[in-house]
């Protein structure tokens, strides 16, 4: 019988949910749901120097926004809690003691300056800096002496010499590390707080994890963790390390890469659809079987497979994300798009926070006019700018259009029609233009272009009748007068 699938996303709550963390969470989640397994969110907060109390909430909120839900975590509890490592210290300490008793770990009294000196000497000799194991063989007297001096030891794991640690990574295949390249590492700091490599092992076996899926940066931690599993007599989970994410220059993506939107909160704030973001994230390093690129969460649950997670690094391509996001927005019901876009018009002060019905209807139509072009909600601001200002910027191509000889006659006639019109709905505009055609004998481009350019400054744009209707009679009259002046 195979083990039930239990997987986890185990962030250190140091900040907002990052796109890399979101990918790790998503892959774990999909594997759990596909196999009717459990998805656990556990917080690794034993490194208190990097800790941020709001980090827990912002991680959970980010996951929630993406539509990733969990079966066990800090908020809902579960059978293997607590799900936050600082609340599990009582579980770890006896195990550290056990390893010391069994001579698999030992107290190390080296001070920071001892260690620095050692590192400097090693570097001078051209060796790889690595703890020498100096405190491995302290006599009882030496230990007592250090204790009497008031030194607080850290506890180091005794790395077995001359061994090769091998394992099969579900993504990377066979991996091996020589233990001689690994110094005795600290599993508990002098303040009694155990370190990541130790607690992650204890939690993963106590929480009965079947597979550990995490970022590639943890690959080199894996042999250390495997040695701890062995020392504690526990069975190993499977491991799967997800490749690096590169920026468009094919360098390792850095959180400081300003051209990339990297935090899930930002996508939410800019008015992206979470479905689109999930769809984009899953393709960073996972390749579906067929040609299809668009997937709902349910489809992903059905199709996701660790076997198709790519070994090579994946590039984070914002253009692709925006293309994908635009595809989702085009297909979404208009009112959903309004929810994403309208708050941006309000935030920019273009529309009031409280909308009367007429203004709201107008805004819905405006957003509908641009739905095809939106990549995300906030895009509406730049796309619809000219509806909110007195004037507009004239495109170069537009200048040329305005030089054509029929233009004044067309605009004068259209102005007269607009002034005389009693209603100004989108459906009323076409008949007005028809009248201009009859009056001036101009049709086609020669007719429409000057009207469009005279009102918007642009040679291309959205539906002309709707654009004119939404500009409103007053603005249309003012702009035509200005164009004629």
The residues that are catalytic are: 255
Among 29, 44, 211, 276, binds ligand GLU (CB under 6 A): 44
Phi-psi region of 342 (alpha: psi -120 to 50; beta: other; left: phi over 0): alpha
Per-residue x/- track, 81-100, ligand GLU (CB under 6 A): --------------------
- Residue 222 C-beta: closest distance to ligand GLU, Å: 9
Question: Is the separation of the CB atoms in 434 and 372 below 8 Å?
Answer: no
Among residues 11 and 377, whose Cβ is nearest to ligand GLU?
11
Among 5, 7, 10, 19, binds ligand GLU (CB under 6 A): 10
Among 200, 273, 277, 324, binds ligand GLU (CB under 6 A): 200
- Residue 10 C-beta: closest distance to ligand GLU, Å: 4
Signed CA dihedral, 397, 401, 403, 408: sign only: negative
- Interacting stretch for ligand GLU, rule CB under 6 A, among 9-17, 52-60, 101-109, 374-382? 9-17
Q: Using DSSP bridges, classify how beta strands 154-157 and 105-108 pair: parallel, antiparallel or unpaired.
A: antiparallel
Among residues 44 and 72, whose Cβ is nearest to ligand GLU?
44
- Interacting stretch for ligand GLU, rule CB under 6 A, among 10-18, 128-136, 245-253, 362-370? 10-18
Q: How far is CA 155 from the centre of its chain?
A: 37
Among residues 171, 234, 230, the alpha carbon closest in space to that of 203 is found at 234
Tell me the CA distances in angstroms from 163 to 159, 223, 332, 412, one per residue in order. 9, 11, 57, 90
- Residue 18 C-beta: closest distance to ligand GLU, Å: 10
- Residue 53 C-beta: closest distance to ligand GLU, Å: 16
Among residues 175 and 394, whose Cβ is nearest to ligand GLU?
175
Is 214 among the residues that bind ligand GLU (CB under 6 A)?
A: yes
Among residues 285, 281, 330, 323, the alpha carbon closest in space to that of 307 is found at 285
* Residues contacting ligand GLU: total by CB under 6 A: 7
Among residues 281 and 324, whose Cβ is nearest to ligand GLU?
281
Task: Measure the CA–CA gap between 480 and 392, rounded to whole angstroms.
Answer: 12
Among residues 55 and 398, whose Cβ is nearest to ligand GLU?
55
Is 73 among the residues that bind ligand GLU (CB under 6 A)?
A: no
Among 6, 218, 452, 475, binds ligand GLU (CB under 6 A): 218
- Residue 8 C-beta: closest distance to ligand GLU, Å: 7
> How does 142-175 read in b/e, with b if 16+ C-beta sit within 10 Å?
ebeebeeeeeebbbbbbbeeeeebebebbbbeeb
Residues 6+ away with beta carbon under 8 Å from 386 = 392, 456, 457
Contacts within 8 Å (CB) and 24+ apart, 434-440? 436/410, 439/413, 440/406, 440/409, 440/410, 440/413
Per-residue x/- track, 160-199, ligand GLU (CB under 6 A): ----------------------------------------
Among 11, 37, 237, 285, binds ligand GLU (CB under 6 A): 11
Token pair in block for residue 383: 């796309």
Contacts with ligand GLU by CB under 6 A lie at: 10-12, 44, 200, 214, 218
């Amino acid at each position: 019988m195979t083990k039930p699938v239990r997987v986890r996303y185990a962030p250190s709550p140091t900040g907002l949910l990052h796109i890399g963390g979101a990918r790790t969470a998503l892959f774990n989640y999909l594997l759990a749901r596909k196999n009717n397994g459990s998805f656990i969110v556990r917080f690794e907060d034993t490194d208190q120097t990097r800790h941020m109390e709001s980090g827990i909430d912002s991680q959970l909120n980010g996951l929630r926004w993406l539509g990733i839900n969990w079966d066990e975590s800090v908020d809902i509890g579960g059978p293997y809690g607590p799900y936050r490592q600082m609340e599990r210290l009582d579980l770890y300490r006896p195990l550290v003691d056990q390893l010391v008793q069994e001579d698999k770990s030992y107290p190390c009294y080296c001070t920071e300056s001892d260690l620095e000196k050692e590192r400097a000497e090693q570097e001078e000799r051209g060796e790889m800096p690595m703890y020498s194991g100096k405190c491995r063989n302290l006599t009882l007297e030496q230990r007592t002496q250090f204790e009497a001096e008031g030194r607080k030891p850290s506890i180091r794991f005794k790395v077995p010499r001359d061994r090769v640690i091998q394992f099969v990574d579900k993504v990377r295949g066979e991996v091996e590390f020589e233990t001689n390249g690994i110094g005795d590492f600290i599993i508990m700091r002098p303040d009694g707080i155990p370190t990541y490599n130790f607690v992650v092992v204890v939690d993963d076996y106590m929480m009965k994890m079947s597979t550990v899926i995490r970022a590639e940066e943890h690959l080199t931690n894996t042999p250390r963790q495997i040695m701890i599993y062995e020392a504690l007599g526990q069975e190993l989970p499977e491991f799967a390390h997800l490749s690096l994410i590169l920026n468009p220059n094919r360098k390792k993506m850095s959180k400081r890469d300003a051209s990339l939107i990297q935090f899930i909160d930002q996508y939410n704030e800019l008015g992206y659809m979470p479905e689109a973001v999930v769809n984009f994230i899953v393709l960073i390093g996972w390749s579906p079987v067929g040609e299809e690129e668009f997937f709902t969460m349910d489809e992903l649950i059905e199709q996701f497979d660790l076997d198709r997670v790519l070994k090579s690094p994946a590039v984070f391509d914002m253009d692709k994300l925006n293309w994908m996001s635009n595809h989702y927005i085009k297909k979404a019901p208009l009112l959903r798009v309004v929810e994403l876009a309208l708050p941006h018009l309000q935030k920019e002060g273009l529309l009031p926070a409280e909308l009367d019905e007429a203004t709201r209807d107008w805004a819905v139509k405006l957003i509908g006019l641009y739905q095809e072009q939106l990549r995300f909600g906030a895009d509406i601001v730049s796309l619809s700018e000219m509806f909110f200002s007195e004037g507009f910027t004239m495109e170069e191509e537009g200048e040329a259009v305005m030089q054509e000889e029929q233009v004044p006659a067309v605009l004068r006639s259209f102005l007269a029609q607009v002034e005389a019109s009693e209603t100004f709905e989108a459906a009323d505009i076409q008949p007005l233009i028809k009248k201009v055609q009859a009056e001036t004998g101009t049709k086609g481009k020669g007719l429409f272009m000057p009207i469009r350019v005279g009102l918007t400054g642009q040679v291309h744009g959205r539906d002309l009748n709707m654009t004119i209707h939404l500009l409103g009679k007053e603005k249309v009259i003012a702009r035509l007068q200005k164009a004629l002046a």
